A and B are shown apart, each in its own frame.
Chain A
Amino acid sequence: MPRITRAEVHRVARLARLSLSDAEADRMTTDLDHILEYVETLQDLDTEGIEPTAHAIPLKTPMRSDRATPGLDPALAVRNAPEALETAFVVPKVIEGEEEG
């Protein structure tokens, strides 16, 4: 009984904005199936009432005072951009009907 189907892999890949070829999806389905089988061992453990770890080393909430500092030189901010128009990033438009998210 497979723990994950190829359709599921495609769905999750889509969520993560990855496109997989059929061959890749097949390989990944097998690999993930093995891994999920392996991690199923955790279900053996009774964790009733156990708090999930928020942070390994308990700390107090750090906060900073509300002071603004000068930002990056805008030219520097876009320097690595694959495409920029002056100091704005340029991206392809969302095609009508495309899902946000």
Chain B
Amino acid sequence: MSGSPLSRFEMVIGLEVHAQLRTESKLFSSAKVSFGDAPNHNVEPVCLALPGVLPVLNRRAVECAILAGLATHCTVHTRSVFARKHYFYPDLPKGYQISQFELPIATGGWIDIQVGADAEAVTKRIGLTRIHMEEDAGKSIHDDAVAGSDATLVDLNRAGVPLVEIVSEPDLRSPAEAGAYLRTLRSILRYIDVSDADMEKGNFRCDANVSLRPIGREEFGTRTELKNLNSFRFVEAAILAEARRQASILADGGEIQQATMAYDAATDRTRVLRLKEDAHDYRYFPDPDLIPLEIGAGEIEEFRRALPELADEKCLRFQAQYGLSEYDALQLSEDRALGDYFEAAVENHGAAKTVANWMLRDVLKALGELEVEIGDSKLTPEAFARLLELVDSGTITAKSGQGLVSDLVRAGGDPTALVSERGLEAVSDAGVLAAAVDEVLAEYPENIEKFRAGETKVLNFLMGQVMRRTQGKADPNAVRELLAERLEG
């Protein structure tokens, strides 16, 4: 949509992410954190907000929050306070959520994101305003078929599950940046084992604040809040749709009203859920049932030292240590397990660039097709290294090798054995190759003329034919030589 009103404005985007923490039990009770169970199968008196219950803080949740703060370069505070945030809703059993308000556990951090692709990629630093801990609400199930059209079902299994809320500064300027931010944040949280951060599973939720300002203006415009965005794709699409909506209004001389918006993927439009004439009066005050959280500065330092190498450091190290391109390094360092696999394979094989190429091209493809993570791959780094060696040594062609990856990832096994079993040894016997070449040339005589007339690219076509005839086992270099010989006559 060129020449659209949007082109006159700059987008200003801030994201609020809620990530569920990887703990066994809930934030303030020992009820189990688990998903997919039947309603109210993981609840205790605390989760039900029965009269007389009291909250007790989960140590592991605090550790996760500290790690999240450190990994995003925040200041982790030695003193933070839990506050009650009041509103009435059936999935909020106490009538208030225990959160943090004036004194959150971490503030003032940043993460670097890569914007743009490949050679044009630039690094942009996105500020984080704060990270705080809070408990999740339960679930309201609006299912007319089950409950009737005028009733809602309430399941409190999720009530009390620990969350961190991560609020970015309004530093993002495009849907793509928003997507990059989310992916980077997800990677960080997974790296430090703090959250599974899986948007599809609902343990990584994102609200987006969007406003526009005329290009060149310093002041921010009025912003709206997009909620219930269920995937990275939707986040980006919704931001764009909302930006277009606002641009249209502003271009007509109208004003943006503060509102909470929902995105409808079917129409690719946003709509107002409710206007925010009054900000919610949440009546925050420090929770008198909980003691302010005090963490020693020494303890915070210990956590900092225990942080694993994070993606951005790893990315730089991969470039320096293994000579990888920035793009390749980025891909391989984004996921901790993938990076570990890469390094284990290099340890066994030696040639980092080869390992990187094969991982990025073939292993990732296989993982994607089989819908598994690198951790589930049956192809061990050692076996992978062996496979590469078989190719390097010419025992099999690259093409044959590529063909084996998927099976090895899925079912495991020894590449050497597999090669024997399937008779994949490369064909380098001159006689066999010559025969294949002659057969192909006999089938496509017109190409000989073409080649001699200057269309050298027919060589590739003919090569392809020879490879097919030899089930990909022919050594491509030998084939190329033979063909060239024959064609040049």
A interface, CB within 8 angstroms of B: 15, 17, 54-55, 59-72, 74, 77-78, 83, 85-94, 99-101
Contact = CB atoms under 8 A, between A and B. Distances in A.
Contacts of B282: 101
A78 B40 contact: yes
Interface string B143-160: 000110111111110000
A101 B283 CA distance: 11
B154 A63 contact: no
A68 B33 contact: yes
Contact of A71 (B42, B87, B293, B294): B42
Interface in B126-155: 141-142, 146-147, 149-155
30 contacts: A54-B286, A59-B291, A61-B292, A62-B291, A63-B56, A63-B58, A63-B62, A64-B30, A64-B57, A64-B59, A65-B60, A66-B59, A67-B24, A67-B30, A69-B25, A71-B41, A72-B44, A72-B48, A74-B40, A77-B40, A83-B151, A86-B39, A90-B147, A90-B154, A91-B152, A92-B150, A92-B152, A93-B151, A93-B152, A100-B89
Given A61-B293, A72-B43, A74-B38, A85 B146 contact: yes
B31 A71 contact: yes
B82 to A, nearest CB: 10
Contacts of A59: 291
B90 interface: yes
B23 interface: yes
B274 interface: yes
B24 A77 contact: no
B219 interface: no
B39 A87 contact: yes
A68 B30 contact: yes
Contact of A89 (B44, B60, B154, B294): B154
B57 A88 contact: no
Contact of B151 (A65, A74, A91, A100): A91
B39 A88 contact: yes
A4 to B, nearest CB: 16
B153 A71 contact: no
B281 interface: yes
Contacts of A100: 87, 89, 274
Given A72-B44, A72-B45, A63 B57 contact: yes
Given A88-B141, A89-B154, A64 B56 contact: yes
B280 interface: yes
B90 A89 contact: yes
Nearest to B23: A66
A101 B152 contact: no
A68 B25 contact: yes
Q: Top 9 nearest A-B pairs by Cβ distance?
A: A101-B87, A66-B60, A68-B32, A88-B39, A63-B59, A89-B154, A88-B153, A68-B25, A69-B30
Interface string B1-36: 000000000000000000000011100001111000
B142 A93 contact: yes
A88 B485 CA distance: 79
A90 B24 contact: no
B63 to A, nearest CB: 9
A59 B58 CA distance: 17
Interface string B285-303: 0101001111000000000
A64 B62 CA distance: 10
A15 B90 contact: no
Contacts of A15: 281, 283
A56 to B, nearest CB: 10
Contacts of A94: 152
B151 A17 contact: no
* Chain B CB within 10 Å, residue with most, of A17, A54, A66, A68: A66
Contacts of B156: 77, 89
A17 B23 CA distance: 35
Nearest to B22: A66
Contact of B25 (A67, A89, A92, A101): A67
Contacts of B44: 69, 71-72
Nearest to B44: A71
A79 B335 CA distance: 46
A61 B44 CA distance: 22
A88 B152 CA distance: 10
A75 B305 CA distance: 47
Contacts of A72: 43-45, 48
* Chain B CB within 10 Å, residue with most, of A65, A67, A77: A77
A3 to B, nearest CB: 19
Interface in B244-285: 274, 280-283
